[in-house]
Structure formats: structure tokens, C-alpha cells
Structure 1
Amino acid sequence: MSSTSNAPNLTPIDLSAHQSKHRENPSFLSRLNLRDVVFALLTIALFSYGALKNMQLMDIYEKVILVFSVLSIIALAWFWRPLQWVFGWVAVISLGAVAMYAGDLARGETGFGLKYMFASQPLVMWMSVLFILGTLAYWVGLIWPRATTMSWLGSKLTFAGLIAGTAALAVRWHEGYLIAPDVGHIPVSNLYEVFILFALLTTVFYLYYEEHYQTKQLGAFVMLVVVAAVGFLLWYSIERGQQEIKPLIPALQSWWMKIHVPANFVGYGTFSIAAMVGFAYLVKFVGMPFAHLPAAFQASYSPSGALPAVTDANAPQILAGMQAQHAKRTKTLTIVLWVLGACLFIEPMVFRKGITAEYLSTYWAMYFGTGLLIVGFILLWRKQLATRLPDFAVLDDIMYKAIAIGFVFFTIATILGAFWAADAWGKYWSWDPKETWALIVWLNYAAWLHLRLMAGMRGTRSALWALVGLLITGFAFLGVNIFLSGLHSYGTL
């Protein structure tokens, strides 16, 4: 199948200018240096100490998971060196908090350092503030390109938020065991904890793409979905008090949770990145005049699939018709983007039972209103933003790679979930609502990848599909838990 009118083939465009230099190196191992070796040794030593200290609390499966986790951390930090600084600071903060607690959870309420800085809840608050400030800095840098320091600052603040949030989960894990050995568990068991995990995984994958493609402009778009998650997280902890650590329900008392949930949220995070990059792609498209579009896009409006020759007597009329088609299409897409943006921000509101006027008049009304203003601002500034966003080919490549990575991890998570179901329920698949919607999400992105790889789908069609995919993924994550009860419920709204 050839490329359709709304999916021009952009593959011939060279992306090497946008990619970081380390990809030119001949092999992975040839890049290793003394710092990499030291990091690996320190990581092994730290985890070995923790394992020896808590050996009695671990079964054979958890020991295997621990070894695999150590090897994964080392490999990832070797592959992308900024992670060495992230893991290093997380270790320093976490060990500092453990030392401050000194085995007494009550110190979290009496000690200044823990109460305001290094206990899990203050760290979550610092993460939230840093992510919000980082997003604002990204936007200032995008709107005023001369303020290059702001984009740099946005990246640094986002890295700091990543460190704070990761340390928060590590400290929270320790706090659970301070309550009681049978209460402690990996902090991925409820809605509060997995929203933190979602924000962190989305952020770390974005920061990798930021360095890999040498562009910071997308931070303004991608971090919006992280800030939206932070907004929900703040409401969930401040108004509902859901930050309290509770014992695991029987359905979650399994070592499968340690690998199934993180793999699942790698998928959710990268699918969200693809959606926001798709949004940026569409904003660039609707904001760019016909004359400035790549030739492949211009030719897609021609009945013949090619631009008219300069010597063609009918060229002016043909070009005028093509420009009119572009104007009509961008107008329609702008309306569609407004509606989709509104739906994405209203999605958490509809995932609550018993919505009342009082409920809508408070926090969530502000949440929804702010979302509409943000989407409206972006669309009003689409012409200015179009010139500042990365090339279409770069956006298309990031979108594809994010979905491809997410699809792999989501597939692994689904398979692991089937094994967990067999262990818990006695059968691999029972058409539980979460399983059914996980299959829908999987089929959605499988179809996206199939059409891209086999039919050459590119352009606005793939970008719009990626954006709509976030609505489907959002329902699979939140809506199923709230409306369709099952063993996968993380919490209620």
C-alpha cells in the first residue's frame, strides 16, 4: 500500500544531525571507561549489602529479581551515562533518609530534615514542584528562543525532579518496613504509588530522547502529561490522604507485582510520550503555511501525487487549489485537537462515581479549566510554535520509537500478567476487565506499528492515532480500575 494523502513518506530525511554523537561509536563495550566500572562496583556493593541485611525477607524469586535489577541498572547507566548521576544522587538521598530514621518511623514527624526534605512525602512534593517549574522553564524557552538558558534550566529542573521522585519511592519502600515487616512492599501497589512511577518513567524516557535528538523544545509538550499526573497526585494525597502506606491486599501479595507493574508502566509512559509528540507534530502541521511545508506534504494535496511543474500553464490554479485544501484541513485538525485536548484533561474527572456540582466547582473545575487554557494557548500560538519545533521527520521518529519500546514492554507485562493470573486464579486468561482493556491497548498499538512498517503510514494520520491512543490507554489505566471492578483496582476516586 502506498502512502496516503495524509501520510506522506518522510523516511528519506537524514536524522543524523539530530542524534547524539555516541551513536557513531563502533560498539557498546568500547565506550566503557573507569567511571563506568566504578559505578558498577558501587552498585553491586550497595545492593549486596541490602540483600545480606534483608535476606530473611526474600524468597528465591525475589533474589532473582534483585540480581536482574542490579544488572539492568548497570547496563542502562552504561548505555546512557546521565543515569549514573541520577542513581548516585538517589542512593545518597535514600541512604541519608535511612540514617535519619535510624529504625524509628516517628522521627519522620519530629526531625526537620525528614519532615520537610527527605521523608517520602516531602520528596514527592519536591518532585512535583520541580516538574512544574521545569515545564514552565521549557515553555519559556520555547516561546522565547533567545532565552536558551531557560530550556537548559528546564532540563536540569526535570532531572532534579526525577531524582527526588525516585528517591521518594526508595524511601517509601523503607518506611513500609519500619511500620512492620509484613507491611513493607515495593511501592507500586496503589493509585498514588503508580502515578509517581508513571511520572518518573515518562520523564526518564523523555530526557533520553532529549539528549539523543539534541532538542529541548519537546519538553514543553511531553512534560505537560507529567504535570497533569502531578496535579492528580497532589489532589489524591492532599484531599484524599492516600499517601498513607497500607498492607497489601491478598491479590497483590505476589512477587509477580515487582516485575509486572513496572513493565506495564514503561508502556504507559512511552505511549504518553508518543501522544504528546504526536500533538506537537499536529500543532506544527496546522501552524505551518502551505509554502513552508516539506515537498512531500505539499505533493500529497495534488491529484497526481506530485507538485506541478513550473512550466505547467495550470500550475497557479493547481497550487491555489492545494493551498485551499491545506487551509481547510488545518482548520478541521485545529478543532479536532481542541476537542481531544479537552477530552484528555476531562478524563480524570469522569472516572469518578457520584460527580456533584460541589465536586465540579472546586479542584477539578480548576484542573479542567487550566487544561483548556493550555490547549487553547498552544493552538493560538501554533504559527509561532511551528517554526520552533523539531523537523517533522524527527518528531515522526521519536513517536515511532516511543511506541515501539512501549509495545515491547507492554507485551512483556501482559505475558507476565497472564502468568500471575495463572498463579492467583488458576488460569492464564479470564477476561477480567483489566485484561480485556489491556488487550485493546495492545491491539491498538500493534495495528499502529503494523501500518507503519507494512503500509508506510506516516504524517498526520499516525500522529493523530498516537494522540487518540492516549485516551484508550488512559481508560485502560484509570477507567477500568474505577468503573469495572476486578483484582487490578489500584484505588477509587
Structure 2
Amino acid sequence: MSTSTLAAKPLSKAAQPFWRDLRLGDHLFAAFVLLVAGIVFNRYHAAMDGYEQAILAGATLALIALGWFWKSVRVFFPVAGLLALGGIALYGGDLARGQSAFWLKYALASQSAAMWMCVLFFLATLVYWGGLLRRSATLEAIASGLTWAAAGAAVVWFFVRWYEGYLIGPDIGHVPVSNLYEVFILFCLITSLMYLYYEERFATRRMGAFVLLVVSAAVGFILWYTFDRQAHEIQPLIPALQSWWMKIHVPANFVGYGSFALAAMLGVAQLLVAKGWLASRLPAYETIGEVMYRAIAVGFLFFTIATILGAMWAADAWGGYWSWDPKETWALIVWLNYAAWLHVRLVKGWRGNVLAWWAVIGLLVTTFAFLGVNMFLAGLHSYGGL
């Protein structure tokens, strides 16, 4: 095929509206998502304010777009959603059934789903490494399947825990993104799904051994935080978090955090390839760099959105968009760090090890902004400490 033919293809696709490329499967998926959203709205709209109804509408459209863009989620989200609905139905409005109903106790209650998620992510990490070191496509496929299953368990945890909060009391229930235990599970879900997308997009499973390491580190924190601090117990929201802003600010933030963590682990992989270590087993040096760039670009976009949403939340709660609180200051440092990373790559044309090291160090900066500020620096956001 000639270069001119290759160049003409994108132009012909861009010349017609995107909906002309939609197939029957695309329309059926959209209809299914709209049907489920309609059922949710019909059942729960009385308990939802206008902002929550707008979030439901936005999430519905976003899921449809994601399903059109990434075909694999057409199976993943319906299956995980049905399992979550099964867990909710098994409760029958009685929280005590979580300790007596077999499937709730051992699989579908939120804490059971969280423990399954932890086990599956640990197993996926080990199997990814086995597949990488033995060059086994079978082990890599099994590891990918385990990662999908772990992400599915996280989705079940999310919706069942949300419901369990309302079973405790209408004033207790809230979207589970309010404390470190909840957001670390959200981090595992987002990071693993982002990795699975890139795994499919670049047709290689050999980056999973590195990316799943950071997910397993988060899982280790979740287990420690659960058994040492009993953090899995559902608590009422503190006044500072009783805002609908939390429901959009926190998830957007964690798309950013997940992207930056993924990029940092790929930076480690790229540096090893540059030294000749595992070079014959990992994807090409340039491929790893390209995935790292795309992850940081997505993360920067969502972190920017989250920062803007955080400023609007601050104005609503404290009367000002910016107060140079330590959390705000370090969020700005993180934003400037990745803005500079993208600038030198896109404008200056930098490539190679310097950007890989920058991505690795960037994760340390981001981790301090997320955890260290709350632990060591007093401010308006000090309620998020360990």
C-alpha cells in the first residue's frame, strides 16, 4: 500500500460524521445503557437532587461513548453491573443479610468483593511476571483475565457499598469516594482499566508486570488500612465532604492519579529496556514511551478538570477559589510538573530516558501531594489524614 493511500484513509473517515460509522452493536449497547439509566432514574430519582440527576445523565452519555470507543467494556460493565445488582437484590433491604446470605457473605457484599479484588490483583501481578519472564502468551492471557476480574470486583464493591450506606441510614449513605480506603479502591479500578485499554490498543500484555506492581502496592495499603484501622466500616460524611462537588472532583482527580502512576511504572520499564535488562521481553523502547506519553496526556487533562472543580468547590464551601492551602499549593506543583513534561515533549521534542526519569519522580511528587500533605502539613484539607 502506498504512502498516499495510507494518508488518504484518515481524510475519508474524517469527511463523514462519526455516527455514519456506528453499527448495530453500537446502537444496541447505547439502548441497553439508556434502559438501565432509565430504570435507575425511575427507582431512585426521588432521593436524587438536580445535581445528582445531571451526574447520572452525564455518566450515561460517557459510558455510551466509552463503549463505542472501546468495545471490551460492552461486556465488562454489563456483567459487573449485573453482579452488583444481584448483590443489592440479595440484601432485600436488610443489612443483616450480609452476614447470613451465602453469596453476600462470600462474594457480593462490599467487603467480600473488596477482598476478592485484592486477591485477584495480587494473582494477576504474579502471573504477569511469570508470563514476562517465561515469554508465555498463555500466562499473559490468564493475567489479563485476572485483571479484568479484579476490576469487575471493584465495580461490584463500588455500587454495593453505596447501597449498604443507605441501608445503614439515609443520612449515612454516600458515593464511596470519601476516605482513603474508598479512594484507594477507586485508584485500583481506574489504573487497571486504563492499563487494560492500552494493553488492547497496543496489542501487548508485557507492560502489565510493571503497571500491576503499583496496583498491588495500593492493594497492600488497602489491606493494612482495613485490618489495622478498620477503615472498611462505613462512616457518615464529615461536614466538609457533604457536597455534590465531591462526586465529580474526586473521580476526576483519580483518573489523573491513576494515569500518572501508570506512566511512572512504564518509565521504570523504559529505563530497564534502555539498560538492556528485559529488553527482549518487554515491548520496544519507543512503544513504552508512546504509552507513557498518552497516559500522562489523559491524566493531565483530568487533573486539570479536577483542579478547576476543586477551586469551584472551595468557592462554594469557603468563599474563595484559591487560598494557597498546602493541598492546593501541591496540586499546583503536580499540575506544573506534568504541564512541563508535556511541553518539553510536544514543543521541544524531548524523548528518551529523561522523560522516563521525570515520570518516575513525578509519581513521588504526586504521592506527596495526595498523602504526604495530609499527613505532615496542616491546612483546610487536613481531614484526610491516616
Range class of TM-score, shorter chain: over 0.9
- Matched to 2:270, the amino acid is Y
Once the 2 structures are TM-superposed, how far is the Cα of residue 200 of structure 1 from its aligned partner?
0.6
Q: Does 1:153 align with 2:142?
A: yes
Structure-1 residue corresponding to 2:13: 26
Whole-angstrom CA distance in 1 between matches of 2:58 and 2:83: 23
Structure-2 residue corresponding to 1:419: 312
**Paired residues of 1:251 and 1:487 also in contact (CA < 8 A):** no
Whole-angstrom CA distance in 2 between matches of 1:425 and 1:214: 48
- Matched to 1:37, the amino acid is H
Whole-angstrom CA distance in 2 between matches of 1:72 and 1:469: 29
Structure-2 residue corresponding to 1:91: 81
Whole-angstrom CA distance in 2 between matches of 1:75 and 1:116: 34
**Paired residues of 2:84 and 2:155 also in contact (CA < 8 A):** no
Among 236, 261, 274, the residue aligned to 1:285: 274
Whole-angstrom CA distance in 2 between matches of 1:24 and 1:220: 38
Whole-angstrom CA distance in 2 between matches of 1:280 and 1:31: 37
- Matched to 2:199, the amino acid is E
Whole-angstrom CA distance in 2 between matches of 1:240 and 1:470: 26
Q: Does 1:434 align with 2:327?
A: yes
Q: Percent identity between the aligned chains?
A: 58
Whole-angstrom CA distance in 2 between matches of 1:70 and 1:230: 29
Once the 2 structures are TM-superposed, how far is the Cα of residue 255 of structure 1 from its aligned partner?
0.7
Matches within 5 A, 1:209-358: 209-286=198-275, 288=276
Whole-angstrom CA distance in 2 between matches of 1:460 and 1:79: 31
Whole-angstrom CA distance in 2 between matches of 1:274 and 1:81: 23
Structure-2 residue corresponding to 1:66: 56
Structure-2 residue corresponding to 1:144: 134
Once the 2 structures are TM-superposed, how far is the Cα of residue 277 of structure 1 from its aligned partner?
0.6
Whole-angstrom CA distance in 2 between matches of 1:101 and 1:470: 40
Structure-2 residue corresponding to 1:56: 46
Once the 2 structures are TM-superposed, how far is the Cα of residue 39 of structure 1 from its aligned partner?
2.1
Whole-angstrom CA distance in 1 between matches of 2:205 and 2:78: 24
Structure-1 residue corresponding to 2:4: none
Once the 2 structures are TM-superposed, how far is the Cα of residue 34 of structure 1 from its aligned partner?
2.4
Q: Does 1:81 align with 2:71?
A: yes
**Paired residues of 1:25 and 1:31 also in contact (CA < 8 A):** no
**Paired residues of 1:142 and 1:151 also in contact (CA < 8 A):** yes
Residues 174 and 487 of structure 1: is their aligned pair in 2 closer, same or farther, counting only changes over 3 Å?
A: farther
**Paired residues of 2:117 and 2:150 also in contact (CA < 8 A):** yes
Once the 2 structures are TM-superposed, how far is the Cα of residue 489 of structure 1 from its aligned partner?
4.4
Structure-1 residue corresponding to 2:177: 188
Query: Which has the larger Rg?
Result: 1
Give unpaired runs (5+ residues) of structure 1.
Answer: 1-22, 289-381
Query: Which stretch of structure 1 is more off in the superposition, 479-488 or 220-229?
Result: 479-488
Q: Does 1:407 align with 2:286?
A: no
Once the 2 structures are TM-superposed, how far is the Cα of residue 44 of structure 1 from its aligned partner?
1.4
Structure-1 residue corresponding to 2:341: 448
**Paired residues of 2:81 and 2:155 also in contact (CA < 8 A):** no
Residues 387 and 175 of structure 1: is their aligned pair in 2 closer, same or farther, counting only changes over 3 Å?
A: same
Once the 2 structures are TM-superposed, how far is the Cα of residue 24 of structure 1 from its aligned partner?
11
Query: Which stretch of structure 1 is more off in the superposition, 53-62 or 202-211?
Result: 53-62
**Paired residues of 1:76 and 1:83 also in contact (CA < 8 A):** yes
1:316-357 Cα offsets, whole Å, 9 max, x none, are xxxxxxxxxxxxxxxxxxxxxxxxxxxxxxxxxxxxxxxxxx
Whole-angstrom CA distance in 2 between matches of 1:182 and 1:244: 15
Structure-2 residue corresponding to 1:47: 37
Structure-1 residue corresponding to 2:92: 102
Residues 485 and 171 of structure 1: is their aligned pair in 2 closer, same or farther, counting only changes over 3 Å?
A: farther
1:129-153 Cα offsets, whole Å, 9 max, x none, are 11111111110110011x2100000
- Matched to 1:111, the amino acid is A
1:198-227 Cα offsets, whole Å, 9 max, x none, are 011100110000000011100000010000
Whole-angstrom CA distance in 1 between matches of 2:263 and 2:195: 10
Whole-angstrom CA distance in 2 between matches of 1:236 and 1:30: 50
Aligned CA RMSD, in angstroms, stands at 1.8
- Matched to 1:189, the amino acid is S
Structure-1 residue corresponding to 2:360: 467
Whole-angstrom CA distance in 1 between matches of 2:82 and 2:131: 31
Whole-angstrom CA distance in 2 between matches of 1:490 and 1:462: 34
Once the 2 structures are TM-superposed, how far is the Cα of residue 38 of structure 1 from its aligned partner?
2.1
- Matched to 2:327, the amino acid is K
Structure-2 residue corresponding to 1:354: none
Structure-2 residue corresponding to 1:344: none
Larger relative contact order (Cα-Cα within 8 Å, sequence gap ≥ 6): 1
Structure-2 residue corresponding to 1:386: 279
Structure-1 residue corresponding to 2:106: 116
Once the 2 structures are TM-superposed, how far is the Cα of residue 32 of structure 1 from its aligned partner?
2.8
**Paired residues of 1:481 and 1:489 also in contact (CA < 8 A):** yes
Whole-angstrom CA distance in 2 between matches of 1:158 and 1:428: 39
Whole-angstrom CA distance in 1 between matches of 2:195 and 2:152: 14
Once the 2 structures are TM-superposed, how far is the Cα of residue 35 of structure 1 from its aligned partner?
2.6
Q: Does 1:198 align with 2:91?
A: no
- Matched to 1:214, the amino acid is A
Whole-angstrom CA distance in 2 between matches of 1:229 and 1:490: 20
**Paired residues of 1:189 and 1:490 also in contact (CA < 8 A):** no
Q: Does 1:484 align with 2:377?
A: yes
- Matched to 1:172, the amino acid is R
**Paired residues of 2:371 and 2:385 also in contact (CA < 8 A):** no
Normalising by the residue count of structure 2, what TM-score does the alignment of the two structures yield? Answer: 0.94
**Paired residues of 1:190 and 1:490 also in contact (CA < 8 A):** no
Count of aligned pairs between the two proteins: 376
**Paired residues of 1:407 and 1:446 also in contact (CA < 8 A):** yes
Structure-2 residue corresponding to 1:171: 160
Normalising by the residue count of structure 1, what TM-score does the alignment of the two structures yield? Answer: 0.74
